[in-house]
């Protein structure tokens, strides 16, 4: 049988040895995912020192409010080309919206976040790599980061035919070495970061460094941006949903991205929305992750209240099983896989009936409902009247 048209499997990049002459095509561009942090800056430095002359650093803006000037500073100092890509609307509509409807919470401990951003980042980077006819796309996930299988899984399911992967997989580099070499290259501001921060409009997440140990950890307060109490007085906020999508705050209609940003500010001002939890690695080990997600702290329970008000109990029970299936597929890097897509279809069918408003009372560190109003409710507003009427009908 002829194998001329057979598609050869892509061999992932797993070490810096995979970037050596004869193993990497240095005559073509190479694309890297670039956050401006320690790992991604160090990879750019290694590529430049190794003789790569056409390096493209891709940074995707997902609404975290990061300063692009710091990214430009690193790129210019290392003479690599920086691609700033605006992914905010796509992230809100294609990833945050379905995550709200799927109640995407990891084992009841914390809402997922980076699992939502990785497929979009991979898709955008693969598109740039294809346009450049690049040799491959590199990222900087370590073996202790779930990002490794999520990015690799996304590239695989997207059908990307170039090389992809992380040289840190089989050749981890300790923090001290990265810091020293970046400082020697004049990138002192990058080397001073205490933790690894992953941020988007849905979440700011902290891991590694000084928050590595589950048995003893404290996030330095200055790392929090959204969930810092600023003396905001007690107040209320009303969130409106239509067909499973958040559409308004206090009766004012807002695009989803803007709505999330508004709730991050207003809810976070009361110190609400901090989470911590352990996530499993591919081998079953657990790692600590901490995050702040003020908007999620209200949007997820608002959806659940309205869902419970409009769907039958049996439907909600079955959906809760599907939710964890949805979460598992997203966590394991199978966002583009058929099982996650099938689960999404069930979630979307349920979401079509979820419309209404929930009003919350906000106090320092807490929120409680004051009003749940569903468009097509199943709840009773007066039990005594219902009992009287139901007896009359039975008679």
* pLDDT tops 80 at residue 195: no
Position 7 confidence tier, pLDDT thresholds 50, 70, 90:
low
Q: Which sign does the torsion angle of CA 338, 344, 350, 353 carry? A: negative
What is the predicted pLDDT for the residue at 9? Answer: 65
Q: What is the pLDDT of residue 61?
A: 96
**pLDDT single digits (tens) 339-376:** 999 999 999 999 999 999 999 999 999 999 999 999 99
- Cβ atoms of 247 and 360 within 8 Å: the answer is no
pLDDT tens per residue, range 124-168: 999 999 999 999 999 999 888 889 999 999 999 999 999 999 999
Residue 208 binned pLDDT confidence (cut-offs 50, 70, 90): confident
Torsion of CA 263, 265, 268, 269, to 10 degrees: -130
Question: Bridge partners of 196?
Answer: 207
Percentage of residues of the chain with pLDDT beyond 70: 96
Give pLDDT, residue 389: 85
Give residue 2's pLDDT: 38
Question: How many Cα neighbours within 13 Å face the side chain of 228?
Answer: 10
Task: Please determine, for residue 246, whether its predicted confidence score (pLDDT) is greater than 70.
Answer: yes
Give the length of the chain: 395
Q: How far apart are CA 99 and CA 116, in angstroms?
A: 8
For 218, what's the count of Cα atoms within 13 Å in the CB-facing half-sphere? 3
Distance separating alpha carbons of residues 189 and 298, to the nearest angstrom: 35
Q: Which of 348, 290, 285, 360 is nearest to 102 (CA)?
A: 348
Q: 10-225+273-351 has which fold?
A: Rossmann fold (3.40.50)
What are the domain boundaries of the chain? 10-225+273-351
Instruction: Report the mean per-residue pLDDT for the chain.
Output: 93
pLDDT at 67 (0 to 100): 83
Q: Of all helices (H) and strands (E), which one includes residue 86?
A: strand 81-86
Predicted pLDDT of residue 194: 62
pLDDT tier at 6 (50, 70, 90 boundaries)? very low
Beta bridge partners of 60: 85
**pLDDT beyond 90 at 188:** no
Note the pLDDT of residue 148.
93
pLDDT band at 211 (very low <50, low <70, confident <90, very high): confident
CA 350 to chain centre: 23
Residue 42: partners with Cβ closer than 8 Å, 6 or more residues away:
140, 173, 178, 181, 182
pLDDT value at 4 more than 50: no
Give the DSSP per-residue string, 278-331.
EEE-TTS-EEEEEEE-HHHHHHHHHHHHHHHHHS-HHHHHHHHHHHHHHHHHHH
| Alpha helices per DSSP H over the chain | 38-49, 68-78, 88-91, 97-101, 114-132, 147-158, 175-184, 188-191, 256-268, 294-310, 313-331, 338-351, 383-394
Using DSSP's 3-state secondary structure scheme, residue 4 falls into coil
């Amino acid at each position: 049988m002829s194998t001329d048209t057979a598609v050869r499997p892509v061999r992932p990049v797993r070490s810096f040895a995979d970037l050596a002459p004869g193993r990497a095509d240095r005559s073509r561009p190479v694309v890297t995912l670039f956050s401006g942090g320690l790992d991604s800056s160090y990879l750019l430095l290694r590529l430049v020192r190794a003789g790569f002359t056409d390096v493209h650093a891709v940074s995707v803006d997902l609404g975290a409010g990061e300063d692009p000037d710091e990214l430009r500073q690193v790129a210019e100092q290392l003479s690599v080309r920086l691609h700033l890509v605006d992914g905010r609307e796509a992230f809100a509509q294609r990833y945050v919206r379905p995550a709200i409807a799927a109640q995407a919470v990891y084992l009841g401990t914390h809402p997922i976040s980076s699992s939502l951003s990785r497929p979009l980042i991979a898709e955008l980077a693969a598109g740039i790599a294809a346009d450049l006819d690049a040799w491959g796309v590199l990222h900087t996930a370590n073996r202790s980061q779930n990002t490794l299988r999520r990015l690799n899984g996304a590239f695989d399911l997207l059908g990307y035919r170039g090389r992809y992967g992380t040289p840190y997989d089989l050749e981890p580099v300790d923090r001290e070495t990265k810091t020293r070499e970046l400082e020697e290259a004049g990138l002192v501001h990058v080397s001073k970061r205490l933790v690894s921060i992953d941020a988007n409009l849905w979440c700011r997440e902290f891991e590694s460094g000084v928050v590595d140990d589950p048995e003893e950890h404290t996030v330095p307060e200055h790392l929090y941006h959204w969930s810092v109490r600023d003396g905001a007085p007690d107040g209320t906020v009303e969130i409106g949903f239509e067909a499973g999508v958040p559409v308004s705050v206090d009766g004012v209609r807002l695009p989803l991205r803007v709505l999330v940003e508004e709730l991050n500010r207003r809810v976070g001002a009361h110190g609400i929305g901090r989470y911590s939890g352990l996530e499993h690695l591919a081998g079953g080990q657990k790692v600590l992750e901490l995050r702040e997600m003020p908007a999620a702290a209200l949007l997820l329970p608002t959806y659940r209240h309205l869902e419970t008000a409009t769907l039958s109990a049996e439907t909600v029970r079955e959906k809760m099983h599907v939710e964890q299936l949805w979460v598992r597929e997203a966590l394991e890097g199978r966002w583009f896989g058929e099982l996650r897509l099938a689960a999404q279809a069930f979630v979307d069918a349920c979401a079509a009936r979820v419309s209404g408003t929930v009003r919350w009372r906000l106090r320092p560190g807490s929120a409680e409902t004051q009003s749940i109003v569903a468009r097509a409710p199943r709840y009773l507003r007066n039990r005594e009247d219902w009992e009287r009427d139901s007896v009359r009908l039975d008679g």
